Each structure stands twice: as C-alpha cells, then as structure tokens.
C-alpha cells in the first residue's frame, strides 16, 4: 500500500466526508497540533513503562486525541456522520478526565510557588506535552471563533486533558525537599 496520493502537492488536504482546504487552514492547523501533542505524549508513554497507571492513562489520552482530531478534520456540515467515542468526543470522556485529575492530585503536594518543569525526566516530558496540548487548544479556539466548530466539546476535552497532564507531571515529579521546607 502506498501512503502518498500526490493530492496534497498543491498545498491542500482532504477533510473527512469530503471537501478540501489549504494545509495552513485553521482546521488542519488545529488537528495537526493535536497530532503533535499525541507524538509528545508518545515520548511520555515510552518513559512511563515502569508505571502502568501513567502508561495506560497516557495511551488513553493519545487515543482520545485521535478522536478529537477526527472531529476537527470533519467539516461542521458533516458532523452528524461522526460516531460518539470513535470520531466524536463525549461528555463522559471529559468527566473521566476530571476523575483522573482528582486521582493524581490527591497524591501530590504542590510547591508554594510556580512549578518549574524538570523534577524528573518523565515530568518534564509531560510538561512539554501539556504545553503542546495548550497550543492545540488555542488553535481549536481559532476554529471555533471562525465558526468552524459544531459544539464546544473538543475545547472542554482539551482543557481538561491539559489539566490532567499537569497533574500527571506533578505525580511524576521527584520533589525537591527545599521547596517544601516548613510545610506540613
């Protein structure tokens, strides 16, 4: 099977269920940013092999980012053709992220000031993935502001997912004891 079609040689890309747009269009910029975030999460998952909980949660987020990408790669007039949980995000997916955030944050103590990335290699990778996902979220806001979103579920999901990556990074941190002097 050949992976090249030559159709994009003119600087355009195809959307799910028809239509073509320029590769620098807001929509491909948004789902391309999600692809970048999923790749950054791949580095996190590779570094989390010794922690099955983190590993599995990262894999689930990667998979769900592809669901979000499918939704963004579909023109609004074709969104009725998307399947919840497969090519369209659901409220349950957002709720699960909230539960995950709580589960991780229940096990960490935040430093009294800003968190500086790099407490461990894995936490630093998670912070890079989080900031990449925040950029993708901004690209999706651009799509929404241009009238290109059928609903705001993608934005809610990305907002929670980046919060979860923050919580996971703090869980993966190796705390500096000096940051916590005098705290009980």
Q: Which residues pair with 13 in a beta bridge?
A: 21
Q: How confident is the model at residue 183 (pLDDT cuts 50, 70, 90)?
A: very low
Q: For residue 94, tell me if it sits in a domain.
A: yes
Cα 160 to Cα 180: distance, rounded to the nearest angstrom = 27
Q: Is the pLDDT of residue 129 over 60?
A: yes
Cα 23 to Cα 11: distance, rounded to the nearest angstrom = 6
If one counts the domains in the chain, the total is 1
Q: For residue 18, tell me if it sits in a domain.
A: no
Whole-number pLDDT of residue 176: 52
Cα 164 to Cα 132: distance, rounded to the nearest angstrom = 13
Q: Which pLDDT tens digit goes with each residue over 14-68?
A: 998 888 999 999 999 999 999 999 999 999 999 999 999 999 999 999 999 999 9
Q: For residue 59, tell me if it sits in a domain.
A: yes
Average pLDDT over every residue of 100-126: 92
Average pLDDT over every residue of 113-137: 95
Q: For residue 1, tell me if it sits in a domain.
A: no
Q: For residue 2, tell me if it sits in a domain.
A: no
Whole-number pLDDT of residue 75: 86
Say what the pTM is.
0.90
Domain around 36: 23-107+116-174
Q: Is the pLDDT of residue 179 over 50?
A: no
The chain-wide mean pLDDT, for the chain, equals: 92
CATH number of the domain enclosing 30: 1.20.1200.10
Q: For residue 183, tell me if it sits in a domain.
A: no
Q: For residue 73, tell me if it sits in a domain.
A: yes
Q: How confident is the model at residue 135 (pLDDT cuts 50, 70, 90)?
A: very high
Whole-number pLDDT of residue 175: 61
Q: For residue 164, tell me if it sits in a domain.
A: yes
Nearest Cα neighbor of 49 from 61, 58, 36 is 58
């Amino acid at each position: 099977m050949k992976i090249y079609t030559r159709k994009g040689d003119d600087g355009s890309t195809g959307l799910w269920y028809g239509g073509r747009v320029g590769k620098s269009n807001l929509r491909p910029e948004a789902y391309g940013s999600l692809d970048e975030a999923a790749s950054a999460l791949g580095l996190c998952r590779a570094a989390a092999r010794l922690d099955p909980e983190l590993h599995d949660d990262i894999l689930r987020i990667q998979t769900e980012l592809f669901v979000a990408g499918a939704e963004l790669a579909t023109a609004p007039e074709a969104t009725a053709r998307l399947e919840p949980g497969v090519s369209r995000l659901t409220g349950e997916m957002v709720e699960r992220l909230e539960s995950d955030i709580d589960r991780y944050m229940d096990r960490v103590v935040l430093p009294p000031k800003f968190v500086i990335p790099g407490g461990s290699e894995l936490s630093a990778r998670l912070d890079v993935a989080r900031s990449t996902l925040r950029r993708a979220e901004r690209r999706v806001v651009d799509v929404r502001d241009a009238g290109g979103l059928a609903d705001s579920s993608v934005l809610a999901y990305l907002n929670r997912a980046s919060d979860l990556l923050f919580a996971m990074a703090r869980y993966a941190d190796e705390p500096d004891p000096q940051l916590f002097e005098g705290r009980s």
